[in-house]
Structure 1
């Protein structure tokens, strides 16, 4: 895990004090809300429906037990006793008092955390695979690259005021667990001929105009990745729309000028970058890699797991993933209890996760883009003990990638941009499909809900997606089928007219019934949909 150097700490501390002064001037009336807005957004502070919301950066989703414990302490001290983990692998506090915001940032700074570049038209938090460094199928640990990109992009003077926000993801395996192709830029580490480099994808994203990013370059050498991304951003910054925020993302530029023309301009700019020699020295990536060295794994551990307890065995089958080191496992902690709010964790649950990481996972946790948590380095011999502690804390739901493992944005309960409530709908769907056997029979089925077209709930990428819209002052829900954020990335298609809250739950049940009737040879829902198409589902839904 990366640790701040003196420069990192000085920058964050100075930013806290700067914002403290800005906040005091707002509270005194010396600054109007219009004057204060760009200042607070530069520090991750939003004004939502009922209160301020603070978004805390968790770079590439990795944090220590100490950092996690601090997040729980802040939730208990300054919020209503919980935090919300997001699809950007960050954490949000939804009930912040303006006067407390500088103190929260100061507390975060004591554990090498901040809220910088979690808002605004800049390069946002770099995301990555939650199994980075522990998955057997990866080319290399992508987190050193993500950290290098974080350092390059932080306060980058040329890219501080981009046409629109900009999101980058880095993965290193054929299994895309980070929705890489639905980012403005996606990097996939590859190793042709034994040389590590990256495939570069650009122009993906969701929101009002969803697009899957095309491949821009099939290989960029490891020591040139910064220059190549600099070229990608320069072309976007030069030609991206600034007159219309709905057409300002890089996906619109790539679409309008075409992939070939965008690629040509990037290559031209890249040649110039090479002449300038802007890449960091090779020893810098080597230095960063030392922070991500493998922990001191024990050898000779048994791979046997006692499955005599049926509930424990079910949890192991669903929540535990294979680790690259014998005797170890990756534990996925569900933040999707049947009666809960997707992505929410209480201060006590956050503290427990920190304790488990400290005691059983070499002091490390991960946050997933699906709003769950991961303990990446767990001895198989410790799984039963961990499960017991999770059961006691209400965190032992065995539903990873099942229909109740719902991604949902905060929706109209919190967000001023939302048209509809996501949380009550997620709870109704989870309750309808709560039976464990029914969930297992349906198998992998990723359901995602957004309360508005901005798509914070990734509805375009759901095997089943739901979009909340406003129909003459009444909440209405569009149903989409066939999306995927994984390596088989695709965009969901709208089935037809929207539904009421109860109506869309009934429609989902009809959709799953058709799937069960039509599937062949153990197909996933997504496979069946792609084989038989929309028509049978539409006929079942609308009669």
Structure 2
């Protein structure tokens, strides 16, 4: 993984001391609330329903065991002993004291982490596929490109006060998009042209929230050398023409829609004329420098098949269920990638205790070269596990309630903190997730359903990306009462689609049964091996709507 240079470390350390002074001045009354607001936001500090919330960047979801131990320490010493992973591959502390945040930032800096630009109207944490670099079928490893974007965008003076927040995602897989690139302000898909040269398919103007939009292709093939200059051109057009008079219409998706993609692209191309082949043009030397930080670990030469693994699978059904759902193939023979789901029933999805963090850090050191990944689905991944070690790893995960065998299943719910924590929420989301998990505990039933994403957001800001879940649930306010709107048919992949609203909103108590009726239609109507999304696209919304709202329900 990328290691800070002396300059990187100095920048982060100086930022900590700068913010320490700003916090001191605010607490002493020398800095107004209005002046302090943008300063704390660009250092990741929000004020939530009950306490401040600090969002810490995990660049493109890559984390070392040492860093995870530091996060565990922070959660114990400065918080309430747990933290929360988000859909943006970040981690959030929900109970820090405002006056202690500079100390937390100093702790983070000691392990090459920070909270810079995790909020505010700036370029946020760049995200990517949590299996980057270890999966077959990749055009190229996206992590070096994410790091290049991170270095370019961090504290970029021209883009410190954009019209609104700005999010970039990168994928290197042409078959499976685990980064939802079409739902970002800029989405980048690595690809090869007919001459075998590497470049990017560039999407612009995607996003969710109040106005969900699938991104539009603005460049089918951007040569890699021009990545930063082209991003600069897009950001400059947005900075110049994006609305600042209405925050609900300030995202780039609104600008692209208002201009039309052809006009927007013409502005970008005109701006690019001044930037193309300029100082920000990437060189082979620079790309090689960054890529060298992502060299493969010291893999052993192993056979493809593991007799130890096969014996364990045959003799232990619990392990076999976990292996079926939580273990993925690896491009190196004899290795596998393991998803550690943070989706135990009764625990907020994405939450992890300090003890669990310490345990997973130990497991990463023992089984996966000391490296972990954070996923869009609020889970963790150990990417480089020997197949011979899988049974032992499973036992150790089981001892800490970290071996729930539901990766990609209905109960692997993506969920925002909702009304339990967030000031913006219209309704609670965590209790809804818990109720659904409790209703669908039968593992055989879940495995029969197969891959099925369910996303729950507490408000239209869509932090849990409910629009792109196969089943999406949105909390709404009806005259002071919490109700929930259901939509179906969303997809975050290369076959991107937005879910369609099923009908009128329903009470919290009705949600689990409504989901059950949706699934009943699917099981009745599906063809052999047909996933939920394919069935929905084949038969349409009406059969599902009729079943959920049929007389008597």
In the superposition, the TM-score normalised over structure 2's length comes to 0.97
Q: Post-superposition shift, 1:222? A: 1.1
Q: Which residue, 348, 354, 358 being the options, matches 2:355?
A: 348
Q: Which residue, 256, 259, 264 being the options, matches 1:257?
A: 259
Q: Which residue of 2 aligns with 1:178?
A: 179
Partners of 2:228 and 2:277 in 1: CA distance: 14
Q: Which residue of 2 aligns with 1:77?
A: 77
Q: Post-superposition shift, 1:341? A: 1.1
Provide the aligned length of Structure 1 versus Structure 2.
543
Does 1:282 find its partner at 2:284? yes
Supply the RMSD in Å over aligned alpha carbons: 1.0
Partners of 1:371 and 1:215 in 2: CA distance: 28
Partners of 2:35 and 2:156 in 1: CA distance: 23
Q: Which residue of 2 aligns with 1:115?
A: 115
Q: Which residue of 2 aligns with 1:427?
A: 434
Any residues of structure 2 matched to 1:118-137 within 5 Å, and which?
118-137=118-137
Q: Which residue, 450, 469, 476 being the options, matches 2:476?
A: 469
8 Å CA contact retained: 2:54, 2:92: yes
Q: Post-superposition shift, 1:357? A: 0.9
Partners of 1:170 and 1:393 in 2: CA distance: 33
Partners of 1:430 and 1:330 in 2: CA distance: 25
Partners of 2:254 and 2:24 in 1: CA distance: 40
Q: Which residue of 2 aligns with 1:13?
A: 13
Secondary structure in structure 1 of the residue aligned to 2:89 = coil
Does 1:401 find its partner at 2:376? no
Secondary structure in structure 1 of the residue aligned to 2:520 = helix
Partners of 1:275 and 1:462 in 2: CA distance: 41
- Summarize deviations over 1:387-414 as a string: whole Å, max 9, x none: 0011000000010111000000000100
Q: Which residue of 1 aligns with 2:418?
A: 411
Secondary structure in structure 2 of the residue aligned to 1:46 = strand
8 Å CA contact retained: 2:224, 2:282: no
In the superposition, the TM-score normalised over structure 1's length comes to 0.99
Any residues of structure 2 matched to 1:198-237 within 5 Å, and which?
198-237=200-239
Larger displacement relative to structure 2 (64-73 or 30-39): 30-39
- Summarize deviations over 1:13-65 as a string: whole Å, max 9, x none: 00111111111122222223222211111100000010000000000000111
- Summarize deviations over 1:224-273 as a string: whole Å, max 9, x none: 11111111111111111111111111111111111111122212222221
Q: Post-superposition shift, 1:275? A: 5.4
Larger displacement relative to structure 2 (352-361 or 141-150): 352-361
Tell me, which stretches of 5 or more residues in structure 1 are unaligned? none
8 Å CA contact retained: 1:124, 1:167: yes
Q: Post-superposition shift, 1:276? A: 3.5
- Summarize deviations over 1:160-211 as a string: whole Å, max 9, x none: 1111000000110121001111000000000122111110000000000000
Q: Post-superposition shift, 1:302? A: 4.7
Q: Which residue of 1 aligns with 2:59?
A: 59
Q: Post-superposition shift, 1:301? A: 3.6
8 Å CA contact retained: 2:200, 2:222: yes
Secondary structure in structure 2 of the residue aligned to 1:121 = coil
Q: Post-superposition shift, 1:505? A: 1.6
Partners of 1:141 and 1:127 in 2: CA distance: 13
8 Å CA contact retained: 1:205, 1:251: yes
Q: Which residue of 2 aligns with 1:376?
A: 383
8 Å CA contact retained: 1:303, 1:328: no
Does 1:303 find its partner at 2:305? yes
Secondary structure in structure 1 of the residue aligned to 2:378 = coil
> Which 4+ stretches in 1 moved above 6 angstroms?
none
Does 1:505 find its partner at 2:512? yes
Partners of 1:122 and 1:213 in 2: CA distance: 19
8 Å CA contact retained: 1:320, 1:329: yes
Q: Post-superposition shift, 1:416? A: 0.4
Q: Which residue of 1 aligns with 2:68?
A: 68
Partners of 1:330 and 1:5 in 2: CA distance: 30
Any residues of structure 2 matched to 1:352-363 within 5 Å, and which?
352-363=359-370
Q: Which residue of 1 aligns with 2:396?
A: 389
Partners of 2:305 and 2:148 in 1: CA distance: 35
8 Å CA contact retained: 2:227, 2:282: no
Q: Post-superposition shift, 1:277? A: 4.2
